[in-house]
Amino acid sequence: MDVRKAVICGVCPGGCMVDVHLKDGKLIDIFPHKGSPFGALCVRGEFAKDILYSPDRLKKPLIRMGKKGKGEFREATWEEALDYVAEGFMKVKNEYGSRSLMSHMGRGGFEQSTTDFMGISEPRNRAVPGFFAPLGSPNASGVGSICYNSIGIFAPITTIGLYGTNILPDIANADHIVVWGTNPITNSPPFQFRAILNAKNKGVRITAIDHYKTNICKYADDYYLVRSGTDGALALGLLKVIIDERLYDQAFVNNWTVGFAELRDYINSKTLEEWAAISGLKAKDINRLARQLAAKEKTTLTMYTGLEYSNSGVQTIRAIYTIWALLGKLDKPGCLLLDSKVNMERIKEIICAKSAEEPVGAKEYPLFCELTQTAHFLKFPQAVLKDDPYPIRGLLNLGSSILTSYPNTYRYAEALSKLDFFVVIDRCFTEDCKYADVVLPATTYFEIESYVFHGSNIKKRERIVEPLGEARRDIFIIHEIAKRLGYGDNYPRDQMGILERALGNKELAEQLNREGFIKIAPPERIFKKYEKGGLRKDGKPGFPTPSRKFEIKSSLLEKYGYPGLPEYVEPTESPLSQPELTKTYPLVLNTGTRIMTSFRSQFLNIAGLLKIQPDPLVWINTKDAKKRNIEDGDKVLVKSPRDGVEFVAKVTDEMPPGEVEVNMGGGSSYQTESWAKSNANRLTDDNNCDYISGFPVLKALLCDLEKL
């Protein structure tokens, strides 16, 4: 038995440190590496060997033989497949122009080096600004069209001037932790939950805000259940109490904010009872929560996807930041810490043409395209099917299962089927692959050497096993395609090249390669930097916004024609906005809360994990179920105005009356039968989006249930 200690888990990008047992070069078992704060193992990690050796893994390049959608392919050599890929894309370029080429990267591109060299969701100065940029296409896109950017870019940049990654909950020093629209228990990696657990053991108060009683609600001292998609109204109700009761930090408001008076006027357009009624809470609960937020000096906040998928998700998140600002809880110990990250140097010149064209989606979501410098993938179908704003004809998709992840599956399937040339790089034969011209097999992280960041430290990722079949590392596949298109040098071609470019210099790269670990002491923490300088590039005091203030009223949003204040918008498909439709679809449909056993569409073919949760579930309240004659474990049809999809009922009072929650991720034929037929995104709508981010409203729609 070969035992390897303190290596990085290779199942997901989480970066947990584990010990592995190997025999004859094969992974046998995996354990958490005790003693390290990053030594964790989630339930999926426990099934690492089944995931690594899953018979569903792609092992050879495939070239399509039959009609699109049929799934008939032949195996090819890498040389043949890569030449064919380059030819296919060049043909599209020659026929329709460079702008007709698009790239898209999903969750499967989150291995650190893939993200660093292909990543686009945040301006990183190591990455090429889009795979087809050197040919002159502005159309790089990614899963940031549907995840993270509202919380990571749009809300924080328009309010505080920083990226979300630079606004950190100081969980270790807090007296009160608010967990809002996120579930650190199921969401992996498990580090944040551990920190919360430690805090709880020290007696720190935990408050959770969700749309149903999740397991983090059960851990919390208090929890509040809102009607899906209405957190904006709750936040404004809290702000009303904070302002009416003068709980705010007067000096901070005077010196460091713009828009306070306008916000107060806007909030007073409704009574507290009215704000409360919209969100499904009582005025006295909002009053109590506001007082609790103000009471403790060290109140911190963690929030995420539960807030991103409503019609005003960006404004909701801005309203929540405003609560912390008014309470004077920014950049103080135990509160929300602010950082200004210094980008690493770029050591390699990137070949890149600046396109004169606007990317797809710039017309509808100009701020999205400006701040991310990418195309909006929600507008991909219309570009293919309607040539709007111009035709997209070629797509390179790395690590995304588009047909299970994007709303209105049929429309995306139609778009994929109409492409002239479509290439998929994945580990499994997803539903998307059926429409591909070429499918290229990617390695798991167990099969590659790389690096991960643990706080400010850098750890080398060791190769644990040799690549399966002919699978190759993503960034090398990308290098090979780029080489054939004339710009291979944009991407590293070997391990040292990766490390040198990633770390910004040769010495660090050699050190990491030699020692496996580089400790970099974080800079000494300075608090209240808005008073002293340290947040802005010019070194002056203030926030890095145009006004130098915390912008309750955002000048950037106004510049783009959006309301500057964090105004509330009722979900456009809700019992309040559509009473007629509600007669046919009386339940609020929420989709996609994380489950521990899957990772979006992934692992729904792994027997051990499926034992824990075999079927895709729809959670429904006991009374709502009884009305429909539904019992726990029944097969039911979930019907939305778009389609009907089969799920298995979980009848429980943990789901409040009037709300349901369905699991997402199903819909690929390599998954087990019950998941393969249950694609939640057949129920969702690609035309119902947050007006700023263009994120689809995946968590505030209408539906009904029928027993099958």
Q: Residues interacting with ligand MGD, by CB under 6 A?
A: 106-108, 111, 143, 146-148, 180-183, 186-188, 209-212, 214, 226, 228-229, 231, 304-306, 398-401, 404-405, 425-428, 430, 442, 474, 590-594, 596, 598-602, 664, 680-681, 684, 698-699
Q: Which is nearer to ligand SF4, 473 or 594 (CB)?
A: 594
**From the list 33, 44, 329, 650, which residue makes contact with ligand SF4 (rule: CB under 6 A)?**
44
What share of residues in the chain are helix, strand, coil (percent, to 5)?
35, 20, 45
**From the list 16, 162, 179, 360, which residue makes contact with ligand SF4 (rule: CB under 6 A)?**
16
We find the least distance from the C-beta atom of residue 525 to ligand SF4, in angstroms, to be 27
We find the least distance from the C-beta atom of residue 273 to ligand MGD, in angstroms, to be 20
Q: Which of residues 128-187 bind Mo ion (CB under 5 A)?
A: 147
Q: Which is nearer to ligand SF4, 11 or 307 (CB)?
A: 11
- Count of residues that bind Mo ion according to CB under 5 A: 1
- Count of residues that bind ligand SF4 according to CB under 6 A: 13
Amino acid code (one letter) for 189: P
d(CA 312, CA 315): 5
Strands 101-105 and 73-75: unpaired
Using CA atoms, how far residue 12 sits from 21, 116, 324, in Å, is: 19, 16, 33
640 interacts with, out of ligand SF4, Mo ion, ligand MGD, none, CB within 5 to 8 A per kind? none
Distance of CA 493 to the CA centre of its chain: 28
d(CA 660, CA 666): 17
d(CA 697, CA 311): 6
Q: Which is nearer to ligand MGD, 225 or 253 (CB)?
A: 225
Query: DSSP of 511-576, one letter per residue?
Result: HHHHHSEE--PPPPP-S-HHHHS-SSTT--SS-SSTTSSEESS-HHHHHTTS-SS------SSSTT
d(CA 511, CA 460): 10
We find the least distance from the C-beta atom of residue 684 to ligand SF4, in angstroms, to be 26
Q: Which of 705, 704, 686 is nearest to 695 (CA)?
A: 686
Residue nearest to ligand SF4 (CB): 45
> Cβ distance 207 to 216 under 8 Å?
no
Q: Which is nearer to ligand MGD, 148 or 266 (CB)?
A: 148
We find the least distance from the C-beta atom of residue 380 to ligand SF4, in angstroms, to be 29
Per DSSP, what are the bridge partners of residue 648? 617, 635
Q: Among positive and negative, which fits the CA dihedral 575, 578, 582, 588?
A: negative
Q: Which is nearer to ligand MGD, 102 or 556 (CB)?
A: 102
**From the list 20, 45, 369, 406, which residue makes contact with ligand SF4 (rule: CB under 6 A)?**
45
Q: Which is nearer to ligand MGD, 398 or 556 (CB)?
A: 398
From 13-21, 350-358, 604-612, 661-669, span contacting ligand SF4 (CB under 6 A): 13-21
459 CB burial (10 A radius; 0-12, 13-18, 19+): buried
40 interacts with, out of ligand SF4, Mo ion, ligand MGD, none, CB within 5 to 8 A per kind? ligand SF4
We find the least distance from the C-beta atom of residue 103 to ligand MGD, in angstroms, to be 12
Amino acid code (one letter) for 516: G
Q: Which is nearer to Mo ion, 147 or 167 (CB)?
A: 147
209 interacts with, out of ligand SF4, ligand MGD, Mo ion, none, CB within 5 to 8 A per kind? ligand MGD
We find the least distance from the C-beta atom of residue 492 to ligand SF4, in angstroms, to be 23
- Report which DSSP code applies to 154: I
Residue whose token pair is 């810490």: 337
Record the tokens describing residue 265, joined without a space: 């006027």
41 interacts with, out of Mo ion, ligand MGD, ligand SF4, none, CB within 5 to 8 A per kind? ligand SF4
Q: Which is nearer to ligand MGD, 178 or 253 (CB)?
A: 178
d(CA 19, CA 41): 10
Name the CA dihedral angle for 269, 228, 157, 235, rounded to a multiple of 10 degrees.
40
Binding mask 177-216 for ligand SF4 (x = CB under 6 A): -----------xx---------------------------
We find the least distance from the C-beta atom of residue 439 to ligand SF4, in angstroms, to be 24
> Cβ distance 35 to 7 under 8 Å?
no
42 touches ligand SF4 (CB under 6 A): yes
d(CA 9, CA 31): 9
Q: Which of 482, 467, 442 is nearest to 127 (CA)?
A: 482
187 interacts with, out of Mo ion, ligand MGD, ligand SF4, none, CB within 5 to 8 A per kind? ligand MGD
Q: Which residues would be at the binding site for Mo ion (CB under 5 A)?
A: 147
Q: Which residues would be at the binding site for ligand SF4 (CB under 6 A)?
A: 9, 11-12, 14-16, 40-42, 44-45, 188-189
